[in-house]
Structures are given as C-alpha cells and as structure tokens.
Amino acid sequence: MISFLDLKKINEPYETAFQEKLKSVLENGWYILGKETAVFESNFSSYCGTKYGIGAGNGFDALVLIFKGYIELGKLKKGDEVIVPANTYIASILAISQADLIPVLVEPRLETYNINPDLIESKITSRTKAILAVHLYGQLAEMNAIHKIANQNNLLVIEDAAQAHGAVLAESRKPKAESKKSGNLSNAAAFSFYPGKNLGALGDGGAITTNDAELAKVLFSLRNYGSEKKYHNEFIGVNSRLDELQAAFLNLKLPNLDNENQKRREAAKRYLTEIKNDKIIVPFWDLSENHVFHLFVIRTENRDQLQQYLLENGVQTMVHYPIPPHQQKAFSEWNTLSFPITEKIHNEVLSLPMSPVLTNDEVSFVVEILNQY
Ligand SMILES: *Cc1c(COP(=O)(O)O)cnc(C)c1O
C-alpha cells in the first residue's frame, strides 16, 4: 500500500538530531519561551524575509492572534467584515469568527482552487476591513490582484500560509530581485507546524510573520496572557506559545525545507506530465510560480468511485475537503447559501500521495494505476 503521507519516514532522517536536542532541552530545564523559541522566531522570520516572527501554539491561534492584535491596535473592531475564500479549510473561517469578526465568503477559481479576485469587489461593504488570502494546497493566492483591491478599498491583507511554507512569488524570482516568500506578501501571515504541513513539528505549533513593528509588539504579549513583563497584563491575552521542544525540532528541520519542497515539486511534475486519463483533471500549475504542493489535488466526476478503485489497487488517498464550510452544521446560518464552484470542488477533489519522501517508483505506480482507470 502506498500511504497518503508517511510522517514516520519524513521525520526519520532527523531522529538522531531530535534525540540530541531533547537531551539538551532536558539539560537546560527550560521548556516554555526560552532560547530555542527565540532562535526559531528569528530563523523563520529570516527565512520568510520578514522583520518579525512570533511563535504561537498552532496555526489557528496564529490567525486569531493576528485579528486580535489588529483589534488591540484599533485597526479592526468587533463586527468588521473579513473577505475569505469559500473554498478553504474551515480553520481560516473559524479564526475570523473567533476574533468576533464576520467572515464574508467569496468563490474560488475552479482551476486554481484559490479565491477569485474578480469576485471580491462585489462583496465589499462599508464594514469590510480585511482580506484573508489562503494559499490553498501550497499554491499562492493571486496576491497582486488582491493587493490592488485592498489598496483601493483601504483593507488589510492577511495570509493564511498554513499550507505554503516557502512558496515564492513569481515576480520576485527575477535575478537580484528581493525574494518574496509566503509570509512576506501581506500585513501579517499565519503558519501552522501541524505534523503533516510542509514544515511540521512533532505536535502542535504555529507562528506569525510580519514587518509591522507595532503589531509584533502586541502579538509577543497577546500570545502570553497579554503580558510582556511577568504579572503585568496589558491586554486581554491568551495562552498560545510555541514550546521549546517543538521550536528545537523545527530549528533542525527548517534548513531542509526548500530541499523538501523541491522533492514535492519533482513528484508533482511527474504526476502532471504522466497522468493521462480523460476522467481526471490535474491541478493547474503556472510553472513560473513555485507551488510547494502541500497537497496534489486532482478532480474527477465520480470521486468516491475513483478513491475506492485506488484503494483496491494499493493507493491511499484523502479528500481535502469533503464538506464545504458553508454547508457545515457549525455555520447553519449559511446552509441555504449557494457557492456552486466551491461545492463542485468539494464534490470532485481527491488528494494523491504527496510528500518529500515519495519515491520515483511510488509515483510511477500511482500514475500507472490512474492511467488504467
Ligand atoms: C492547518 C491549517 C490551519 C490551522 O493550523 P493548525 O495548526 O492545525 O491549528 C489553518 N488554515 C489552513 C489552510 C490549514 O491548512
């Protein structure tokens, strides 16, 4: 059986280094907000090209903290509307609600699965204050178009970069141009280090990147009970900290992220060129953009049937995601709304095995089984 994602295999090369780090953290006797976290915050923000990096407990909290930070700074207020793709992992939308803001859903492009900038403007009202751009499956949202709309309407732009660690914007890949990565394409960005993400910890973890000094200052405090100085609370904060052990593991994995993303792209390139079956639509990839293929998501009309066929032939797949957010029970007020493109995507998508440890033989096998379908 070719597994969808073999986390054990992904982390195996780091085993000795992890054990040494565990030993050193044990010997230090300091487990929360210490040296490893500070080093990771600095390493990760340098990697993304931003001035500041702020560790958080997970990706969801990282998003909520950004919104709460802007509320503290008076740039957002309760009840403000935030534009968000209708086609996203529900965490993006829940984070907006969690910060007492109102999510306003916008349809994606069928080809890219990402928000369609052409449809944003008609959803903007006097209460709209921000756009949450999601780089779904590892492919950057159309940031230039999004920024144009945001500038014209005086909106903040925030990235949900939980699936796109290391993705580089095309224009910035010209020689000598400053490399602009996900995390550095907006006012502030949220990352998740959930084990299955492109940069994954051995538990929960998250971070925020930003160039906004004021926001960073508030966030360093907000994530730690709103307190910068022990027992002095400036804000109504939360407890959401990246712990020393996870930060230490992430410090070991970060130097290899670009290499791992390249391996994902190589597998993706083979899927894209070798899958030849009229029943299967492979994902759009503008080769100039460096998609980091968190997931390789195909579409097909009888998705469940294809998934069953693949399973019977030894290929494990997943569906990201089976139920659109607006049809979830949790958002019952949206259940009668219609987002046909989002619904079509949720009915048709299937995620093929994708990871930096997927072998050439495994890719060949998946392709062969798919082409025989
Ligand atoms: C994983 C993910 C999150 C949430 O991250 P957690 O660390 O699981 O809280 C948010 N948005 C997207 C798009 C994600 O894929």
- CB of 84 closer than 6 angstroms to any ligand 1 atom: no
- CB of 114 closer than 6 angstroms to any ligand 1 atom: no
CA quadruple 36, 38, 41, 43: dihedral positive or negative? Answer: negative
Decide if 189 is inside a domain.
yes
Q: Measuring from atom 5 of ligand 1, which residue has the nearest CA?
A: 59
Average of pLDDT values for 109-116? 97
Write down the pLDDT at residue 178: 63
Question: Does 132 share its domain with 231?
Answer: yes
CA 283 – CA 134 distance, rounded (Å):
17
Write down the pLDDT at residue 101: 98
Residues 6+ apart with CB under 8 A from 235: 72, 218, 221, 222, 226
From 216, 239, 254, the end of a domain falls on 254
Write down the pLDDT at residue 201: 98
Question: Does 210 share its domain with 281?
Answer: no
Q: How far is CA 238 from the centre of its chain?
A: 22
- CB of 85 closer than 6 angstroms to any ligand 1 atom: no
Question: Does 270 share its domain with 362?
Answer: yes
Q: Measuring from atom 2 of ligand 1, which residue has the nearest CA?
A: 162
Q: What are phi and psi of 125, to 5 degrees?
A: -125, -175
CA 260 – CA 169 distance, rounded (Å):
18
Decide if 204 is inside a domain.
yes
**Tens of pLDDT, residues 194-216:** 999 999 999 999 999 999 999 99
Q: How many structural domains does the chain have?
A: 2
**Tens of pLDDT, residues 211-257:** 999 999 999 999 999 998 889 999 999 999 999 999 999 999 999 99
> Which residues form the domain of 212?
7-106+113-254
What is the 84 CA–ligand 1 centroid distance (Å)?
Answer: 14
What is the 372 CA–ligand 1 centroid distance (Å)?
Answer: 35
Q: What are phi and psi of 30, to 5 degrees?
A: -130, 120
- For residues 11 and 356, the answer to whether their CB atoms sit within 8 Å is no
pTM (global) more than 0.75: yes
At residue 43 the predicted structure's pLDDT band, cuts being 50, 70 and 90, is very high
CA 367 – CA 46 distance, rounded (Å):
38
- CB of 113 closer than 6 angstroms to any ligand 1 atom: no
Decide if 59 is inside a domain.
yes
Decide if 166 is inside a domain.
yes
H helix intervals, 193-338: 213-222, 244-253, 257-274, 303-312
CA 206 to ligand 1: nearest atom: 7
Question: Does 341 share its domain with 196?
Answer: no
Question: Does 164 share its domain with 138?
Answer: yes
What is the 200 CA–ligand 1 centroid distance (Å)?
Answer: 11
Q: What are phi and psi of 284, to 5 degrees?
A: -70, 135
CATH of the domain at 59: 3.40.640.10
**Which of 104, 110, 173, 167 lies closest to 135, judged by CA?**
167
Decide if 157 is inside a domain.
yes
Write down the pLDDT at residue 229: 87
- CB of 206 closer than 6 angstroms to any ligand 1 atom: yes
At residue 287 the predicted structure's pLDDT band, cuts being 50, 70 and 90, is confident
From 254, 281, 301, the end of a domain falls on 254
Decide if 2 is inside a domain.
no
Question: Does 266 share its domain with 250?
Answer: no
Q: Measuring from atom 10 of ligand 1, which residue has the nearest CA?
A: 91
**Tens of pLDDT, residues 171-188:** 766 665 566 999 999 999
Task: Catalogue the active-site residues.
Answer: 197
For the cut 70, the answer to whether the pLDDT of residue 24 exceeds it is: yes
CA 345 – CA 324 distance, rounded (Å):
9
What is the 103 CA–ligand 1 centroid distance (Å)?
Answer: 16
**Tens of pLDDT, residues 289-331:** 789 999 999 999 999 999 999 999 999 999 999 999 999 999 9
Write down the pLDDT at residue 173: 60
CB count, 10 Å around CB of 232? 10
H helix intervals, 29-142: 35-48, 59-72, 90-98
CA 193 – CA 204 distance, rounded (Å):
6
Decide if 180 is inside a domain.
yes
**Tens of pLDDT, residues 256-265:** 999 999 999 9
For the cut 80, the answer to whether the pLDDT of residue 170 exceeds it is: no
Write down the pLDDT at residue 74: 98
Write down the pLDDT at residue 179: 67
Residue of 132, 194, 242 to test ligand 1 pocket, by largest number of atoms within 8 Å of CB = 194
At residue 286 the predicted structure's pLDDT band, cuts being 50, 70 and 90, is confident
Question: Does 240 share its domain with 263?
Answer: no
Residue of 87, 114, 160, 295 to test ligand 1 pocket, by largest number of atoms within 8 Å of CB = 160
Question: Does 337 share its domain with 198?
Answer: no
From 226, 254, 282, the end of a domain falls on 254
Three-state SS for 187? coil
Question: Does 149 share its domain with 298?
Answer: no
- Residues pairing with 233 in the sheet: 227
Question: What average pLDDT does the structure give for the chain?
Answer: 96
Angle of helix 213-222 relative to helix 59-72, nearest 10 degrees, comes to 120
- For residues 128 and 104, the answer to whether their CB atoms sit within 8 Å is yes
- CB of 67 closer than 6 angstroms to any ligand 1 atom: no
- CB of 159 closer than 6 angstroms to any ligand 1 atom: no
CA 197 to ligand 1: nearest atom: 1
Decide if 1 is inside a domain.
no
Q: Measuring from atom 12 of ligand 1, which residue has the nearest CA?
A: 162
CATH of the domain at 362: 3.90.1150.10
Question: Does 205 share its domain with 147?
Answer: yes
What is the 160 CA–ligand 1 centroid distance (Å)?
Answer: 8
Query: What residue has token string 């949202």?
Result: 141
Give whole-number Cα distances, 164 to 191, 193, 234, 305, 368, in Å: 8, 11, 33, 30, 29
Q: What is the DSSP string of 342-368?
A: HHHHHHHEEEEP--TT--HHHHHHHHH
Question: Does 117 share its domain with 171?
Answer: yes
Average of pLDDT values for 355-363? 97
- CB of 162 closer than 6 angstroms to any ligand 1 atom: yes
Question: Does 80 share its domain with 135?
Answer: yes
- CB of 134 closer than 6 angstroms to any ligand 1 atom: yes
